[in-house]
Chain A
């Protein structure tokens, strides 16, 4: 099974605290005990992990629930509640052998009947239930075996099954009919729910009956060998950034999800605080609307692409906490490719003017649709506007709030040319999830008449159906290059999210969620 390979800075920081990937012994808590309080930035509206895809829900729920398959530190699929997986020779049947002795928080032992019921609920009301569209049926021939049978061959099925966006978490069969957003918090994870006060906090405690996954030695991604070292963990909702900083400084909060960059110089000098930057939190992106002029003109889009100075934009967007990134995946991911890098960060105003002339641009207004709720969106639009105006593009800002801009961006005729947003979960989920953005329904570049670009569609089909991993990787690289050359999107750079813990907290490695397992207080 895969091991956690330390590539990102966050992981390097984690190494310093004693997670050496080459240890033969499974992880053991150096110190057990204590109550950990974590400052979370957003409210949660539900702990129902099957029907809620929000980050705030996932932060907590993924510490309580587990699924059949999940992702490791580099977002590659791994088994979690299964010991082994056998794929039939015709690639239509997947047979999972479930792990033995796994118990739910209510003491009940997990069997295949529970897996069946969980899948049934997901098929009924899960947020991404359409991903099971190609599944013919699932069966439980015995209490330790779960079999999925597909209708058609789908080489990417496991990648989709292991998605963590709104995963198919395994719950007791008795919860099968829980209404949407009201799933009872009974999972198999190392942490169980004590109480949840909306708008206030969620408190978890160690589940003493937890059975760690002995196929691993360390935690990795959402899975691996997990141990709950603290007695309790409290996720406190602290929406004000300054309040999180203050709480961290006084020690009221022993960890925080996000720190404003402005506070970092001061915090860096504090001996009691360890700063943990999490690189590649999301890709800051500007999406052109290719249904309306002048962004329907390829030469015009190339002009915009040519003038952009990504450093200036990302500096403003992230207060200097960023890295430039080519393409739609991050360097530590399996599918990463820099195909199309010649289109990125060109910052050549003369070239831009040439493209502008070729496009026949007459000075029509170009509307930049952004929102004031996310500083990254707002700031990047502001800077891009200036850069575009400098070469004679009549760039106008349209600033609304996030719900309005998200709604406006769903259609192509609501009066915008460039939409500012961030791709967070999708790039982490993988190349497949990300390139989904370029095909209908919901193609972000809004092709005219909602008809797919045939070349993009062909490459997308390849990504889905080519039998070899290598073949699919090459299809992705080609699709990325094509999308960038057609300027169907403008990736600006990757944002770093800065987390922090008190210095006596060891083992905390930032990831897509704050993982409370294998973290302990130094004694």
Chain B
């Protein structure tokens, strides 16, 4: 997370590493990743959740929203793997479909951040005239506590999954933009870029060929942690009752509805919470591994 720390120190010493990476072949990086213990553990955990999510229609054929009032509050058993909730709905179904929703939301938010964060960050870093304006707005958006801004935007847009995605995109893009901007600012001043400018290369070409490829490393690390934050914040929003509207089976919603019954049916809370934790843990380990391999310098900064 700590993007401001990144900013504080990025300028101090990122030059050398960015220059180095210009010459790193991709497959060597992949090999180093796969030898990194934390990375592999994280990848494993995350993959479990992702695969479960992908296979949802086959492994959870029961409609997660199907009411069965006569079967409420059944504890986990061979028949009902995760038990049932206050409406008799299968918790297994709801958690599995919840996994799919988390994956969709996480990926979408990451995609939005990747695209818009890069656009805004690069524009601000490269074109000095835009920097001031863009960063003022950026800072204003970052001044809001993340959850409150998310609540506000979701309230405006509406309580559907798509709107939550947009809201989370709005909340986190400023932070991503900051990171890209830092890299771009440093790279802009480097010799080979100056040489290209002197040779008359167009802005777009310079950005595309020289600057952006080298700014990718910090971005990729950030995106990995971002996936985790997106899933976590979405769960928080649902839990507060301001996320995707019930009966959509997001993990946060399941826990919110289960809260009133936590004395009698604690599994409604403990199981989705555990799933959430595994997902976030996996992503954090992934991010750590990526950072260690791609950008050791950043270890101080994260």
Contact = CB atoms under 8 A, between A and B. Distances in A.
Given A315-B69, A382-B87, A383-B67, A399 B261 contact: no
A386 B66 CA distance: 8
Interface residues of B, number: 13
The binding surface of chain A is classed by DSSP as: helix
A324 to B, nearest CB: 17
Given A315-B69, A397-B247, A372 B264 contact: no
Which of B241, B245, B261, B263 is the most central at the interface, judged by chain A CB atoms within 10 Å of its CB? B245
B159 interface: yes
A312 interface: yes
B246 to A, nearest CB: 6
Contacts of B241: 372-373, 401
A316 B69 contact: yes
A399 B245 contact: yes
Contacts of B264: 262
A399 B159 contact: yes
Interface string A311-328: 010011000000000000
A331 interface: no
A322 to B, nearest CB: 14
A333 to B, nearest CB: 32
B260 interface: yes
B159 A241 contact: no
A378 interface: yes
B256 to A, nearest CB: 9
Contact of B245 (A241, A260, A316, A400): A400
Given A378-B246, A397-B247, A312 B87 contact: no
Interface in A228-264: 241-242, 260, 262
Contacts of A401: 159, 241
B159 A382 contact: no
A397 B247 CA distance: 9
Contacts of A397: 247
Interface in A14-68: none
A162 B263 CA distance: 45
A312 B159 CA distance: 28
Contacts of A378: 246
A406 to B, nearest CB: 15
Nearest to B256: A372
Contacts of A383: 67, 69
Contacts of B247: 382, 397, 399
A258 to B, nearest CB: 13
A382 B85 CA distance: 14
B8 to A, nearest CB: 39
Contacts of B246: 372, 378, 399
Contacts of B69: 312, 315-316, 383
Nearest to B66: A386
Nearest to A399: B245
A383 B86 CA distance: 13
Interface in A362-387: 372-373, 378, 382-383, 386
A463 to B, nearest CB: 39
Contacts of B159: 399-401
A401 B241 CA distance: 9
A399 B245 CA distance: 6
Q: Which of A260, A316, A373 has its CB near the most chain B CB atoms (within 10 A)?
A: A316
A242 B264 CA distance: 13
Interface string A426-440: 000000000000000
Nearest to B158: A400
Interface in B220-270: 241, 245-247, 260-261, 263-264
A241 B67 contact: no
B245 A372 contact: yes
A400 B242 CA distance: 9
Nearest to A400: B159
B87 A241 contact: no
Contacts of A260: 260
Contact of B67 (A373, A382, A400): A382
A438 B264 CA distance: 43
Nearest to B248: A399
A382 to B, nearest CB: 7
A386 B67 CA distance: 8
A169 B264 CA distance: 46
Interface in A388-432: 397, 399-401
A262 B245 contact: no
Given A382-B247, A400-B159, A262 B261 contact: yes
A400 B163 CA distance: 13
Contact of B260 (A262, A312, A399, A400): A262
Nearest to B253: A372
Contacts of A242: 260
A401 B246 CA distance: 11
Interface in B55-87: 67, 69, 87
A325 to B, nearest CB: 21
A400 B160 CA distance: 10
B84 to A, nearest CB: 14
A315 B70 CA distance: 11
Interface in B79-125: 87
Contacts of A382: 67, 87, 247
Contacts of A399: 159, 245-247
Interface of A: 241-242, 260, 262, 312, 315-316, 372-373, 378, 382-383, 386, 397, 399-401
Given A399-B245, A400-B245, 5 more contacts: A241-B260, A242-B260, A372-B241, A383-B69, A400-B158
11 contacts: A241-B260, A260-B260, A262-B260, A262-B263, A262-B264, A378-B246, A382-B67, A383-B67, A386-B67, A400-B158, A401-B159
Q: Please name the 6 residue pairs, one residue from A and one from B, whose CB atoms are nearest each other, closest first.
A: A399-B245, A386-B67, A372-B246, A399-B246, A262-B260, A372-B241
